[in-house]
Amino acid sequence: MSGDLLNLTLRIWRQAGPNAKGAFRDYQLQGVSTHMSFLEMLDVLNEKLLQAGEEPVAFDHDCREGICGMCSLMINGQAHGPDKATTTCQLHMRRFKNGDTIVIEPWRASAFPVLRDLVVDRSALDRIIQSGGFVSVNTGNAPDGNAIPIPGHVQEVAMDGAACIGCGACVASCKNASAMLFVAAKVSQLSLLPQGHPERASRVIDMVAQMDKEGFGSCTNTSECEAACPAEVSVTHIARLNREYFKAMLITEK
């Protein structure tokens, strides 16, 4: 066999629906090119399953360019697989060896219920954004915003928070299934920019309250979320979130 081809065992979580009992199922896949992306490998598996008259494996994907964050998979116990700062669609099969067994699971968090196979419902993150992760006051048009001077170091930190793609890897990798890094990135980004200041206090209180309502766990500062984040969002945003929340609570209690 060519050194560019792999024979693999894929141990994949299969679950017919939200209320169905799921289980791992093993599949043998031969002749996988090391030049394929991980999702292309799953496409090949699904083609073989369809040819055999079996149900294909359901998994999320969209842009396949590392932008949208839809490709949410736990691969051998790691969110998005073994590469750092990489989404699943950017992971290539050359990271694996011939004869490997690859375990593929959906995100594991009570706030992310499994819909089918590897697909989970991440709308809890959308509801957190809807609770306050936006600017609703009149801030003028684009030229008005561009005319406001913002120090370079502040801009860089705000853009670091804005880089979050909402994939949920931070939740899936956290032992408590905490969404603190996601919420912190959104709160931190807007708290640093002048357009976000008018709603600063209400935003952090409402978003944290919605996070708790959705059933996400608490943060215990293990920083696994930062290690799993494909956008490399820093845990320093969590420290800023805590400061913003404390100040907002002081203001609202007066």
Strands 101-105 vs 5-14: parallel, antiparallel or unpaired: parallel
Are residues 169 and 238 both part of a single domain? yes
Q: How does pLDDT run across 82-128, given as a tens digit for each residue?
A: 999 999 999 999 999 999 999 999 999 999 999 999 999 999 999 99
Are residues 100 and 169 both part of a single domain? no
Whole-model pTM?
0.93
Measure the CA–CA gap between 82 and 253, rounded to whole angstroms: 46
Are residues 85 and 177 both part of a single domain? no
Asked if the model's pLDDT at residue 81 lies above 60, the reply is yes
Q: Which residue has the higher pLDDT, 137 or 1?
A: 137
Quote the mean pLDDT of the chain.
Answer: 95
Asked if the model's pLDDT at residue 2 lies above 60, the reply is no
pLDDT (0 to 100) of residue 238: 97
Its domain, for residue 136, covers 122-253
Are residues 108 and 201 both part of a single domain? no
User: Residues 72-104, buried b or exposed e (16+ Cβ, 10 A)?
Assistant: bbbbeebbbbebeebbbbbbbbeebeeeeebeb
What mean pLDDT is predicted for residues 129-145? 88
SS3 state of residue 77: coil
pLDDT (0 to 100) of residue 148: 85
Share of the chain above pLDDT 90, in %: 91
CATH number, domain containing residue 145: 1.10.1060.10
Are residues 158 and 212 both part of a single domain? yes
What mean pLDDT is predicted for residues 143-155? 86
Asked if the model's pLDDT at residue 198 lies above 80, the reply is yes
Are residues 80 and 199 both part of a single domain? no
Are residues 111 and 207 both part of a single domain? no
What mean pLDDT is predicted for residues 121-140? 95
How open is the CA angle 214-70-96, to the nearest 5 degrees?
120
* 3: confidence class by pLDDT, cuts 50, 70, 90: low
Split into its structural domains, the chain has a count of 2
Are residues 85 and 204 both part of a single domain? no
Q: Which residue has the higher pLDDT, 252 or 6?
A: 6
pLDDT (0 to 100) of residue 12: 98
**Among 116, 136, 162, where does a domain finish?**
116
